[in-house]
Each structure stands twice: as C-alpha cells, then as structure tokens.
C-alpha cells in the first residue's frame, strides 16, 4: 500500500515536473545539479551488510501511523535499496524473515528520527544471532568540484581496519560497527587501501565530482570486500541510492539521473504541442 | 619535588581513606537516623536494586552496602566495591551510603535514579554515564527532546488510546524510550489502551518505565510473544498478563540515552 502511494506520489511529482518543463525546459539542466530540496520529505534506504544473516523483510513503522509502514521485502546480503521518501518523524525498524506474513512476530531493531530533507541508511550489521541495525545520516552534497567519502566498517573477520584513499587516511583502526565522518577528496580514479592485522588489500575506485559515497568494508572468502554506495550524485530532489562507480558491489545499480529523460520527454511534449497548435491553426485557416 | 609529590599523594590517599572510613561508619551507625532506620533504608535499596536494575549492570557500591546487595541475590561478579583511590569507572550504577558520598556522586554520576531513607542513613542510587558528565548532560537534553517529540507522535497513533494523564506524561517526555518504541511496534498489529504508566524509582525524577495496556483482546498471547521475543535493548525486565486482556511491560534501569536518534558516526 505504501509503495502504491509512493508510486502515485512519484507519478504526480513527475507530472508536475513535466508540466513545468513545458514552460521551463531551458533551465532543466541547471536544476538537475542543484542540491536536494529540504522541504517536507526525508529519505531512507536499507542495506543488508551481514553475511551470516538470511534474506529478510524490513518494516519501517511511523510512530503516528502504524498502518502505513515502509516495507522492503527480500533484502539479501549486499543489497542496498533505493532511497524511499518518507514523512519526517519518528520510526521503528522491525525485521521479519523473508516471506513471513506481516502479522508475524517482528524483531524491533532500532528506532530513529527522520528529519525534513535528511537522508538515512539503515544498515543491518553483525553476526546472526546478534544482528543489529545502525542508522547513518547520509550527506547529500559535496563541495563544488569535489567528492566526499566515508567508511563504514562491517567486516566480521577483521575488527579494526585502516582505510586510505590515495594519500588520504579515511579511517584509522576503525572498529566494527563504526563509521567515519565524510572526508572531501579529489574526484577521479584512485586506489583505496585496506589494512588489518595480517591482511592488506587495495582496489581501484573512481568517484565523480559533486558526489557522496560510503565505502563499506565487508568480508569475502579471500579477505576484504568493499562495496561503494553512492549516497548522492548531484541529484534532483532526492538522493541517489545503490552502488557507486569504480568497483564491484552487490547491490543493484541505481537508475541514472532522470533529468535527460525528462528533458527529452519534455522536448517531445513541446514539439507535439507545437505541432498540434500548428495543425489546429492550419485547420482554422482552412475554415 | 618528587618527595613533595609523593607526600602529597600519601596525604590525599590517607584523607580519602579516612573519609571512606567515616562514611562507612556513618552509614553503619547513623548520625542522623537510628540503626534500625539505616538498616531499613539499606534493605529497601537492596531489594529495589535487585528488582529494578538491569541484570547485566555492574554496580559500584559502598563497601558497607555490597554485602547487603549480595544478600539480595545480586551476583558478586556484578558488584564493584568502591576503593579509596578510585571512582566507579567501569560501573553502570553507583550505590552510595550517606551524604558524605555526595562529592563522589557529583563527580562521577550526575543521574540519581532512586533514593532511600534520609540524612546520614540515606542510600542513593545513581546511573554512571560512560562518557562523563558533560557528555551525559548533552545526551540527556537531546534524549528529553526526542522523548517529547516521539511521545507526541505516538499520541496521534490511531491504534493506541491514552488517558489524559498518560498523554500529558508523553508530551512531557517522561516515558522511557524503550517503552515508546515497544508501544509503537505493538501498535503495528494490535489496538489497545494505555491504562497506566508506572515508575518504581523513589526519590528520583520521574521517568516511566512500566506500562499497563488493556483491551488487546484475543491477540494478547501474540502480543506477549512479541514483547518476549525482542533483543536488547528492547528486552523488558518483566512482562506479565493483567486481567483478561491486559499486559504489564516493565524495563529495567538505567534507562539508556539516545535510543530514539542513534545516528552512527558524525555524518553531516
């Protein structure tokens, strides 16, 4: 039901955008790179980062309206959902096994506050049993021409990890379940190095200007594994979700910015409108 | 200079030991109260701590009080007798005897969670914040604001009915965060009435940790299972059936701060 409403809301928003684009198509491109709007909406996404935990369904219940939860089903290890817009307020997060009915007993994992204009990642971390949900506040913009990155340490094998991005040390002996603040970095291709007792790894990454990313340290059979989440990428009025460019992640790729498509649709609509007017005026003249 | 420093430390240690000896004696004989009154306060405090403080909490206690707590069934491994040169660091709860312990509490434990007896025989129980005094005060202010906000939102929940008094307590932020979250999740499946809020912490600022809900109807066994099935920090200390359709849920002390806005890392 919630998804249905969200879709309706998105369709309505898209219709509004399209409508306004008919008159303002020339300024559509600058708007696409503007910072996300604050307003009356917040965003949440869910990340399953516990290799031991099975697929699950996550329910996010508003304190004031328990009949309208945000539900993400079949969240599996490595999955990161798109951002979903929610009304600002207090929420409880509950987990159920994948496919369990909504009337079954949920496990309350955390409660958190969504602020207007804020974006949050709910990250399921840790062993199972012992799974926990951490709430991260995501940054929605970067200094002009730069990128910002942070590290979330979710490795169960290594409890303390040092992470560097080129010459920038992003995290020093970062403990499991901890996250760093965002650090501004020069965008482009770079090497990220991970060090822990008896283990070292490096990976090539590419981050684009005006974007924000979270590097998540995870385990794989060979040692470290890193998933780069894109927190924002010069988006329209909502942040981008999913996996960043540069190296492998297991989450589905986010859709690109809708601006070019909207521009194309808008331009098409304009052309069609112009043709219609011309056809009508032609018909009037013929009369 | 080294000798002077050593002498100063030795003097300080002696002074502290004297103070501790005085404190214990004062607590034992009672300068302001009778021996019976002191013993009664200690027994009440010990019984209360055994029933209300989290079973995983480490308790720093006045050396004269530790045996009383142990007699009430608190495992010796959870008790940390206060030493002359040390504070309650590493403990979750501090139990002091008599007003001479005041400076200790002021220094390490600003949050009084219960008090028993009066004068020199008074026993006080404090929460020991892990991050120190300044961090505690900041966290407390933020927690109160979050409780007020969350409580007000819960009042709009169409599946929960509150009494006028209960609604006022929610608006004032006087309801434990674990209780608020539990009510919110219960309301995802059940409709009920919050009939009473309870607080069994004498002599301390009110923060309700107990709720009696009624009118759940045939879903009570499911609600009971849901509450019982939670993981820390949402595991109640006591859950009992009340009447035909009710439930009493109580969380232990100390009440954690920051549960309603647990943002990891600095972020933006």
Rounded to whole angstroms, the Cα distance separating A172 from A180 reads 9
* Mean pLDDT score, A146-159: 91
Rounded to whole angstroms, the Cα distance separating B10 from A30 reads 72
Question: Using the beta-carbon criterion (under 8 Å), do A106 and B226 form an inter-chain contact?
Answer: yes
For the segment B9-40, what is each residue's pLDDT rounded down to a tens digit? 333 333 333 333 323 333 333 444 478 888 99
Could you tell me whether strands A42-48 and A119-125 are parallel, antiparallel, or unpaired per DSSP bridges? Answer: parallel
Question: Using the beta-carbon criterion (under 8 Å), do A63 and B230 form an inter-chain contact?
Answer: no
Q: Does residue B90 belong to the interface with chain A, where contact is any CB pair within 8 Å?
A: no
Q: Does residue B232 belong to the interface with chain A, where contact is any CB pair within 8 Å?
A: no
Question: Using the beta-carbon criterion (under 8 Å), do B150 and A182 form an inter-chain contact?
Answer: no
- From chain B, the residues in CB contact with A126 under 8 A are none
- From chain A, the residues in CB contact with B267 under 8 A are 136-139, 150, 179, 181-182
Nearest to A113 among B146, B222, B267 (CB): B146
Rounded to whole angstroms, the Cα distance separating B103 from B97 reads 12
Nearest to A112 among B154, B226, B262 (CB): B262
pLDDT range class, residue A209, cuts 50, 70, 90? very high
Residues β-bridged to residue B162: B194
Please name the residue of chain B whose CA is at the shortest distance from the CA of residue A67.
B188
Please give the pLDDT value at position B73: 95
| Residue B79 vs residue A284, higher pLDDT | B79
Task: Please calculate the CA angle A166-A170-A176 and round it to the nearest 5 degrees.
Answer: 130
Question: Using the beta-carbon criterion (under 8 Å), do A138 and B154 form an inter-chain contact?
Answer: no
Rounded to whole angstroms, the Cα distance separating B183 from A106 reads 13
* Mean pLDDT score, B231-250: 94
Nearest to A63 among B153, B264, B268 (CB): B153
176-195 in B: which are within 8 Å (CB) of A? Answer: 177, 180-182, 184-185, 187-189
Is the backbone of residue A128 left (phi > 0), alpha (psi -120 to 50) or beta?
Answer: beta
For the segment B132-151, what is each residue's pLDDT rounded down to a tens digit? 788 888 999 999 999 999 99
Question: Using the beta-carbon criterion (under 8 Å), do B188 and A180 form an inter-chain contact?
Answer: no
- From chain A, the residues in CB contact with B266 under 8 A are 180-181
Q: Which of A92, A101, A102, A124 to mutate to test the interface with B (most CBs of B within 10 A)?
A: A92
- Distance from the A171 Cα atom to the nearest Cα atom in chain B, whole angstroms: 12
Distances in Å between the Cα of B179 and the Cα atoms of A31, A111, A135, B146 are 44, 11, 20, 13
Question: Using the beta-carbon criterion (under 8 Å), do A140 and B259 form an inter-chain contact?
Answer: no
- From chain A, the residues in CB contact with B230 under 8 A are 107-108
Question: Using the beta-carbon criterion (under 8 Å), do A134 and B159 form an inter-chain contact?
Answer: no
Nearest to A61 among B188, B260, B268 (CB): B188
Cis? peptide before A4, omega within 30° of 0: no
pLDDT range class, residue A249, cuts 50, 70, 90? very low
Classified as helix, coil or strand, A6 is: helix
- From chain A, the residues in CB contact with B218 under 8 A are none
Question: Which residue do the tokens 């303390």 mark?
Answer: A160
Give Cβ neighbours of residue B107 (< 8 Å, ≥ 6 apart). Answer: B87, B133
* Mean pLDDT score, A212-227: 85
- From chain B, the residues in CB contact with A107 under 8 A are 229-231
- Please check whether residue A124 is in contact with residue A47, taking contact to mean a CB–CB distance below 8 angstroms: yes
- Distance from the A74 Cα atom to the nearest Cα atom in chain B, whole angstroms: 20
Question: Using the beta-carbon criterion (under 8 Å), do A106 and B188 form an inter-chain contact?
Answer: yes
Question: Using the beta-carbon criterion (under 8 Å), do A179 and B146 form an inter-chain contact?
Answer: no
Q: Which of B148, B235, B260, B264 to mutate to test the interface with A (most CBs of A within 10 A)?
A: B264
ipTM of this complex: 0.78
- Please check whether residue A91 is in contact with residue A110, taking contact to mean a CB–CB distance below 8 angstroms: no
User: Chain A: which residues have CB within 8 Å of chain B?
Assistant: 59, 61-67, 69, 89-90, 92, 94, 103, 105-113, 120, 123, 129, 134-140, 150, 152, 177-182
Question: Using the beta-carbon criterion (under 8 Å), do B259 and A152 form an inter-chain contact?
Answer: no
Please name the residue of chain A whose CA is at the shortest distance from the CA of residue B222.
A105
pTM reported for the whole predicted model: 0.74
pLDDT range class, residue A138, cuts 50, 70, 90? very high
For the segment A81-96, what is each residue's pLDDT rounded down to a tens digit? 889 999 999 999 999 9
Question: Using the beta-carbon criterion (under 8 Å), do A90 and B225 form an inter-chain contact?
Answer: no
Average pLDDT, chain B: 83
| Residue A131 vs residue A276, higher pLDDT | A131
For the segment A182-200, what is each residue's pLDDT rounded down to a tens digit? 999 999 999 999 899 888 8
Nearest to B184 among A66, A113, A129 (CB): A66
Please give the pLDDT value at position A77: 87
Could you tell me whether strands B79-81 and A42-48 are parallel, antiparallel, or unpaired per DSSP bridges? Answer: unpaired
Closest C-alpha to B46, from B99, B101, B116, B112: B116
Beta carbon pairs, A and B, within 8 Å: 118
């Amino acid at each position: 039901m919630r998804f249905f409403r969200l879709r309706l809301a998105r369709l309505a928003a898209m219709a509004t955008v399209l409508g306004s684009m008919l008159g303002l198509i020339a300024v559509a491109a600058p708007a696409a790179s503007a910072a996300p709007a604050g307003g009356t909406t917040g965003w949440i996404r869910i990340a399953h980062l516990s290799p031991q935990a099975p697929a699950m369904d996550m329910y996010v219940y508003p304190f004031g309206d328990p009949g309208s939860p945000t539900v993400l089903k079949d969240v599996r290890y490595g999955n990161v959902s798109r951002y979903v817009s929610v009304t600002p307020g207090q929420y409880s997060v509950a987990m159920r096994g994948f496919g369990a009915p909504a009337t079954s007993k949920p496990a309350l994992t955390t409660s958190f506050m969504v602020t207007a204009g804020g974006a949050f990642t709910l990250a399921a971390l840790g062993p199972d049993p012992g799974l926990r949900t951490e709430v991260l506040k995501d940054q929605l913009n970067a200094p002009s021409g730069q990128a910002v990155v942070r590290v979330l340490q979710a490795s169960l094998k290594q409890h303390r990890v040092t992470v560097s991005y080129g010459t920038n040390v992003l995290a020093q002996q970062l403990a499991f379940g901890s996250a760093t603040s965002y650090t501004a970095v020069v965008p482009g291709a770079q090497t990220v190095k991970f060090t822990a007792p008896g283990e070292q790894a490096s990976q090539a990454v590419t981050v684009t200007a005006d974007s924000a990313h979270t590097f998540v340290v995870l385990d794989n059979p060979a040692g470290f594994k890193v998933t780069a989440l894109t927190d924002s990428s010069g988006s329209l009025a909502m942040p981008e979700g999913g996996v960043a460019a540069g190296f492998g992640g297991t989450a589905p790729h986010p859709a690109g910015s809708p601006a070019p498509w909207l521009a194309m649709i808008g331009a098409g609509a304009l052309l069609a409108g112009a043709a219609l007017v011309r056809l009508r005026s032609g018909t009037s003249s013929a009369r | 200079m080294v000798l002077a420093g050593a002498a100063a430390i030795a003097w300080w240690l002696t002074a502290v030991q004297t103070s501790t000896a005085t404190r214990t004696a004062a607590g034992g004989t009672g300068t302001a109260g009778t021996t019976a009154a002191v013993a009664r306060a200690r027994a009440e405090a010990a019984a209360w701590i055994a029933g209300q403080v989290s079973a995983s909490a480490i308790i720093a206690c006045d050396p004269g009080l530790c045996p009383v707590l142990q007699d009430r069934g608190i495992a010796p491994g959870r008790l940390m007798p206060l030493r002359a040169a040390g504070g309650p660091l590493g403990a979750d709860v501090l139990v002091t005897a008599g007003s001479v312990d005041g400076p200790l509490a002021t220094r390490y434990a600003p949050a009084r969670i219960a008090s028993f007896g009066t004068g020199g025989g008074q026993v006080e129980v404090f929460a020991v914040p892990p991050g120190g005094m300044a961090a505690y005060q900041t966290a407390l202010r933020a927690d109160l604001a979050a409780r007020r906000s969350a409580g007000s939102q819960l009042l709009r929940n169409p599946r929960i009915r509150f009494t006028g008094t209960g609604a006022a307590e929610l608006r004032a932020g006087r309801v434990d965060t674990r209780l608020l979250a539990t009510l919110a999740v219960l309301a995802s499946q059940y409709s009920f009435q919050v009939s009473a809020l309870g607080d069994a912490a004498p002599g301390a600022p009110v923060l309700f940790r107990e709720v009696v809900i009624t009118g759940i109807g045939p879903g009570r066994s499911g609600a009971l299972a849901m509450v019982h099935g939670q993981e820390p920090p949402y595991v109640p200390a006591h859950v009992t059936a009340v009447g035909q359709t009710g439930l009493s849920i109580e969380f232990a002390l100390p009440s954690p701060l920051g549960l309603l806005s647990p943002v990891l890392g600095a972020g933006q």
